[in-house]
């Protein structure tokens, strides 16, 4: 501890997250320099890479494109400004639930995983379910690009940074490589405060992700190829050959390109240029590497030719709105440090930010146990601490697991939900649990419980919907506690079931169509008719549009596809195109736009299977033209199969 005169008088050892720690000092000026350098490097790299994002060929950039007055807007930084606001709103106890709330309040991006997660969040689903359910983009780069805020707010504490990164990533990448990518970068960048060796930093990052995940395998191979003497272009080709993906935002290949620039780069400039010239998700690779190098070098060591064009302005994309964004890097840095001081104290890290004493680390960073309990958490359910709002030491814990089909139910259909209610208090709990269902629905009867401390009730409850299933259906789990055989108090946990779409589907044998309920937007012929042979597969439904509106209807497919609206062919894609079920960038041949009247409309989809299992998503989204920034959002009130 430190007395009032700033003199260290004792060192208390402790174990934090598997680390053997004593009191460590982070000089406040050092803290400022590292954080400012990281944000500046992020701006530099993002501005360099943004104009060529998505180009898959080997590039030959040597400098920025022609710039406006300052840096280019970039979601790599935009979202982290929102997360800083979230930290300021909710403090160190921030979790995925609060981050999900921030998405719906302040983020109006439609891109890939963002669009799917936002649609789920807007329907009342919570992370990790909101980040997993129906989302085909969980392996992508939307979350690895958001790592710096957690590293900078948990300086020298990679175990803390990785946990925040996990909470962040499961909002829109639950169950995918995007989670591992963000944890890797957050741990590595947090360790920069106490470790400067490149290879050691990469190894620290790798301890925070599963060793058999695609991201770790790509990085291990890249490190080996570098040691074996392959040049950077050869290493790039090997990454694409062994770990590449047709989607330019796929995380493992892009994380490897980021580290490739670092391994082969001979200077800041050379490193970010090598990363960006690998192509693919160029704003992400250059921005993350720019941040890492900016943290290592500090702002004064970054080349003026790269610093001067971007300056210290912070530019925010118009669809990111409704919160006090920092005006410049100085304000961003100071606000980051302010939250970092709170986090270091709240997590009992043994790290003190001091205005005068020199930086002195007393942590054995290699002693941390891998966070396997995070990796092993399921994504098909949500956990609640009771009473709700509890930060630590809850009286009870509830898990609501929807199973592999997710939180969806069809009209007149039944589903089973697994509830686990655990006594986390120090005394026995008695009472009952029950469900409150929408009018006309039915379900399992209430269950009496008597639980000793640490005991759990496992209850698989059946729920049957009426024929009136809305797009969003609110249910409640009710915990009624008794004392001395009398009612004592009641706690309610709200949860959501969305409407499954109903289709009549048939296979290539020309047999009679069968009704099938699809939990999300993917047409799953395999489950309905046993899709195994090539030929033409059909699906028919009635779409109910509640209001006259401009709409883009997408039939994203990995095969030739036709979509008929009220008997008219409006999509006729006769080619097999790269599968891209994104709201904003589906292939032009696989979408059309119109002003659609309110009411019911007949939809028929035909897809031609030719050797590979079918992937077809049918999506109703807004057009580019909206009254407020934030286009191509999903219409959650459209019903399928009425």
Residue numbers belonging to the annotated binding site for Mg(2+): 281, 283
Asked whether the beta carbons of 135 and 172 are under 8 A apart, the reply is: yes
Residue 541: strand, helix, or coil: strand
Strands 599-609 and 535-545: antiparallel
Task: Give the residue numbers of the binding site.
Answer: 281, 283
Q: What is the DSSP letter of 140?
A: B
Angle between helices 251-264 and 198-206 (to 10 degrees): 160
Residue 432 CB partners (closer than 8 Å, separation 6+): 446, 447, 448, 449, 480, 482
SS (H, E, C) 396-410: EEEEEECCCCCCEEC
Q: What is the DSSP letter of 521?
A: S
Taking the CA atoms of 86, 91, 94 and 97 in sequence, report the sign of the dihedral they define.
negative
Asked whether the beta carbons of 281 and 255 are under 8 A apart, the reply is: no
Nearest to 634 by CA among 621, 618, 616, 617: 621
Strand partners, 250: 140
Nearest to 172 by CA among 243, 246, 244, 122: 122
Angle among Cα 27, 33, 35 to the nearest 5 degrees reads 100
CA distances from 365 to 202, 382, 458 (A): 13, 32, 39
User: How far out from the chain centre does Cα 524 lie?
Assistant: 24
């Amino acid at each position: 501890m430190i007395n009032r005169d700033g003199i260290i008088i004792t060192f208390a050892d402790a174990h934090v997250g598997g680390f053997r720690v004593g009191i460590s000092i982070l000089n406040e000026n050092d803290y400022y320099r590292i954080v400012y350098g990281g944000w500046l490097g992020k701006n530099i790299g993002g501005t360099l890479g943004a104009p060529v994002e998505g180009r898959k060929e080997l590039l030959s950039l040597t400098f920025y494109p022609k710039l406006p007055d300052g840096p280019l807007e970039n979601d790599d930084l935009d979202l982290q400004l929102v997360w800083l606001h979230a930290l300021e709103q909710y403090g160190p106890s921030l979790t995925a639930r609060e981050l999900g709330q921030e998405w719906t309040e302040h983020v109006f991006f439609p891109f890939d995983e963002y669009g799917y997660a936002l649609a789920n969040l807007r329907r009342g689903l919570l992370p990790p379910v909101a980040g997993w359910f129906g989302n085909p983009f969980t392996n992508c780069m939307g979350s690895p690009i958001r790592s710096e805020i957690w590293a900078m707010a948990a300086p020298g504490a990679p175990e803390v940074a990785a946990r925040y990164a996990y909470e962040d990533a499961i909002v829109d990448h639950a169950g995918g490589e995007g989670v591992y990518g963000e944890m890797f970068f957050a741990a590595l960048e947090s360790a920069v405060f106490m470790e400067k060796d490149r290879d050691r930093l990469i190894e620290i990052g790798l301890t925070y992700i599963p060793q058999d995940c695609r991201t770790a395998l790509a990085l291990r191979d890249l490190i080996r190829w570098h040691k074996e003497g392959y040049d950077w272009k050869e290493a790039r080709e090997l990454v694409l050959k062994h770990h590449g993906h047709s989607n330019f935002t796929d995380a493992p290949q892009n994380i490897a390109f980021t580290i490739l620039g670092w391994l082969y780069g001979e200077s800041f400039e050379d490193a970010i240029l090598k990363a960006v010239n690998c192509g693919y998700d160029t704003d992400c690779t250059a921005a993350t590497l720019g941040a890492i190098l900016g943290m290592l070098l500090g702002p004064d060591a970054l080349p003026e030719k790269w610093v001067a064009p971007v300056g210290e302005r912070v530019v925010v994309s118009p669809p990111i709105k409704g919160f006090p964004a920092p005006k410049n890097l100085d304000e961003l840095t100071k606000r980051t440090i302010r939250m970092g001081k709170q986090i270091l104290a709240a997590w009992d890290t043994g790290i003190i930010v001091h205005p005068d004493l020199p930086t002195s680390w007393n942590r054995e960073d290699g002693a941390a146990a891998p966070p396997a309990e995070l990796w092993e958490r399921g994504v098909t359910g949500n956990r609640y601490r009771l009473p709700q709002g509890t930060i630590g030491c809850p009286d009870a814990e509830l898990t609501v697991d929807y199973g592999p089909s997710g939180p969806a139910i069809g009209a007149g259909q039944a589903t089973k939900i697994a509830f686990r209610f655990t006594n986390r208090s120090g005394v026995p709990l008695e009472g009952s649990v029950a469900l409150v269902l929408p009018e006309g629905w039915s379900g399992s009867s209430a269950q009496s419980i008597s639980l000793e401390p640490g005991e759990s009730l496992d209850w698989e409850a059946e729920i049957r919907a009426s024929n009136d299933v809305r797009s969003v259906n609110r249910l409640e789990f009710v915990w009624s506690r008794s004392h001395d055989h009398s009612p004592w108090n009641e706690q309610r946990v709200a949860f959501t079931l969305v409407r499954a779409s109903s289709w009549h589907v048939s296979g290539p044998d020309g047999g009679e169509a069968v009704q099938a309920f699809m939990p999300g937007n993917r047409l799953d012929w395999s489950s309905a008719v046993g899709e195994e042979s090539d030929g033409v597969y059909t699906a028919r439904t009635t779409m109910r549009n509640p209001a006259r509106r401009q709409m883009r209807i997408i039939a994203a497919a990995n095969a030739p596809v036709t979509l008929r609206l009220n008997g008219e062919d409006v999509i006729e894609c006769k080619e097999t195109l790269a599968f891209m079920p994104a709201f904003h960038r589906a292939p032009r041949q696989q979408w059309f736009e119109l002003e659609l009247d309110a009411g019911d409309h007949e939809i028929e989809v035909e897809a031609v299977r030719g050797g590979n299992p079918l992937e077809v998503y049918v999506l109703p989204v807004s057009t580019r033209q909206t009254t407020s920034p934030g286009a191509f959002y999903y219409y959650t009130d459209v019903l399928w199969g009425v």
